Structure 1
Amino acid sequence: MIDVIIPNYNGSALLPVCLDSLRAQTRRDFTVTVVDDASTDDSVALIKSRYPEVQVFQLDQNRGFAAAVNAALTATHQPFVALLNNDTEADPHWLAALIGALERWPQFAFAASKLRLFDRRNVLHSAGDFYRPNGEPGNRGVWEEDRGQYDVYSEVFGPCAGAAAYRRSALELLAEDGRVFDEELVMYCEDVDLNLRARRKGLRTIFVPTAVVYHRLSASGGGALASYYCGRNFPLVWVKNMPLELIRRYWPALIASQLRFVLHSLRHIREPAARARLRGQLAGLRALPSFWSRRALTAEETELIVKALDLR
């Protein structure tokens, strides 16, 4: 009934905690598939020797998060899909709570987990995601101590794909040329793009406060890699998905946001992540015409996006 998909690249040191937490789930009607993005460590051998119940889908070459998840979605078939990062530990009740919410409320297509930091377990990383009109995505509650301020089931803009559930029928509706995640984004912000496309179709996300996952922040990525792709993809996702009405209204805010990132990077130019962000922003400028050409928003989609941007 549920496909749990875990993208993995050289995560042999992280996988045991993640997979052990899935073994401890109170809900048992699921299959775990690890899609290995051409790892060079012993990830695949570890899974086969210690976790024989886990299916392994191996890619011949490293293609990035979006392509890896798309490959796993093609290879699986259950009506519910849960995505989970390899650098996480899921609470034993996580899957029961997350999928249970979708079963209880059929008006929602996606479900967002409550993500806390792995090493500071009372600190939030995400209580559902939001999106600003200037092209900056955000996490509700990030860096806040979890005092119960987000312990209410509520509609949010979208889930963080590091720990999220989806109706497969919704993902199939959103597929572009048969691909759910936009592979031109490679990694980082691919879930933001999916959330925007979902909102354009009127698909909604529920935040499930009892679906708790602990995240080793950027243990499987981060640093210069994350800075490059965030620098590149923030404006590309905006250009691809924002209605002309909002582009005319908010393009100065987008430019101001991008300039703030440039100035911050220049102040920290000796740091690899800062230089990577600048390279990413330049790469984003070069890719803008391609992403602009892929725009195809209807009047109804424009109205739905405008309403969705009010969600916090």
Structure 2
Amino acid sequence: MTSADSGTTVVVVTWRGARHVTACLDALAAQQRPHRTLVVDNASDDGTAALLAAHPSEPEVLRLRRNTGYAGAMAKALDRVETPFVAWLNDDAEPEPGWLAALEDTLASHPLAAAVTSRLELADGSTQSTGVRLTADGHGADLTEPGDEVFGFCGGAALLRTEAVRAVGGVPAGFFCYYEDTDTAWRLRLAGWHVMFADARVRHLHGASTRPGSPLFHRWNERNRLLMLLRCAPSVVAVRELARFAVLTVLLPLRRHRPAAANFAPGLRWRVLAEVVLRLPATLRERRRVARVSALDRGAIWQAWAGL
């Protein structure tokens, strides 16, 4: 049920989502809680616009002139959100009818939490994510065992306090795709907020718009992980991981045998390093802005959550 008087705006980002966005909107129309639906169309050219216009739930649509990625679209959407809560939902996700109610109730019962993540399940019923953990080398990794509190939320299906997100700098639009959720969660934690898990179930096609394991996937992942560390991590961790990435990139061509995965291709890694270096001045300015709105020490957050 869609309502302009609700407390939540559900933002659905789509790009060439004609094969699955209708199922997502159908699932939103069946929600037990009223909400506003805002679909950001990243310049789709596959008939998605017509499907959105014809859907009986009559979602509000923001059509962009170019594909800005998930991160860019979420940043654009945040400018248009006037409700206390904003939900992130992938266009290939189908939430159960009680999904939004479970997320809203969790935030209502945890006033120190700025975000709550869902249980994402794959088509075979297996659990894809119950939140995000922070590895010892600064990767964000999906959790599959639920816990009341998690380091970060999975951007595929989550609910956030709108003003809390704005206060810590919003969504990193320049990431384009991947790690925008973990970066946002990290900044919320530095500001003193918590991130919770709710058993709010969502069926997720996973990778309907992007191809996990592809060179482009790995380029975005590797680049954005390093940018996130430079923005949010203790300086010793950020420098260590950037240096480790650079050294491995230099040594890879000297190896007789190297992993076949695309993220070990020297050309891709050199491109990642070039993009990080070009963005370094702006990223360091963003790091200083993060410090100004932080209430907790970077080292304390790292020690509390890294490697768990």
Q: TM-score range by the shorter chain?
A: 0.7 to 0.9
Contact 1:3–1:82, Cα closer than 8 Å, also in 2: yes
User: What is the aligned length?
Assistant: 292
Aligned to 1:207: 197
Is 1:166–2:172 an aligned residue pair?
Answer: no
Is 1:302–2:308 an aligned residue pair?
Answer: no
- Counterpart of 1:10 in structure 2: which amino acid? R
Is 1:55–2:56 an aligned residue pair?
Answer: no
Describe the SS at the equivalent of 1:109: strand
The 5 Å alignment of 1:70-149 reads 70-117=75-122, 119-121=123-125, 123-141=126-144
Provide the C-alpha distance between the structure 2 equivalents of 1:47 and 1:273, rounded to a whole number of angstroms.
40
- Give the deviation of 1:293 after TM superposition: 4.2
Is 1:193–2:183 an aligned residue pair?
Answer: yes
- Counterpart of 1:240 in structure 2: which amino acid? R
Aligned to 2:174: 184
Aligned to 2:284: 292
Contact 1:6–1:32, Cα closer than 8 Å, also in 2: yes
Contact 2:131–2:143, Cα closer than 8 Å, also in 1: yes
- Counterpart of 2:176 in structure 1: which amino acid? V
RMSD of the TM alignment (CA)? 2.9
- Give the deviation of 1:33 after TM superposition: 0.7
Which structure 1 residue ranges, 5 or more long, are not aligned? 142-148
Relative distance call for 1:2 and 1:299 in structure 2 (3 A) is: closer
Relative distance call for 1:80 and 1:276 in structure 2 (3 A) is: farther
Contact 1:229–1:280, Cα closer than 8 Å, also in 2: no
Relative distance call for 1:311 and 1:224 in structure 2 (3 A) is: closer
Aligned to 1:240: 231
- Give the deviation of 1:276 after TM superposition: 7.7
Relative distance call for 1:22 and 1:232 in structure 2 (3 A) is: same
- Give the deviation of 1:187 after TM superposition: 1.4
The 5 Å alignment of 1:210-289 reads 211-222=200-211, 223-244=214-235, 246-247=237-238, 251=240, 255=244, 259=248, 266-268=258-260, 277-278=268-269, 280-287=271-278, 289=280
- Give the deviation of 1:259 after TM superposition: 3.4
- Give the deviation of 1:246 after TM superposition: 4.4
Q: Percent identity?
A: 30
Contact 2:13–2:41, Cα closer than 8 Å, also in 1: yes
Provide the C-alpha distance between the structure 1 equivalents of 2:258 and 2:171, rounded to a whole number of angstroms.
32
The TM-score, its normalising length taken from structure 2, stands at: 0.84
Contact 2:131–2:152, Cα closer than 8 Å, also in 1: yes
- Counterpart of 2:173 in structure 1: which amino acid? E
Describe the SS at the equivalent of 1:300: coil
Deviation string, structure 1 residues 181-215 (Cα, Å, up to 9, x no partner): 11221211111111111111111101112x01111
Relative distance call for 1:310 and 1:255 in structure 2 (3 A) is: closer
Describe the SS at the equivalent of 2:91: coil
Provide the C-alpha distance between the structure 1 equivalents of 2:297 and 2:135, rounded to a whole number of angstroms.
17
- Counterpart of 2:248 in structure 1: which amino acid? L
Which structure 2 residue ranges, 5 or more long, are not aligned? 1-6
Contact 2:218–2:263, Cα closer than 8 Å, also in 1: no
59-68 vs 3-12, which moves further:
59-68
- Give the deviation of 1:266 after TM superposition: 4.6
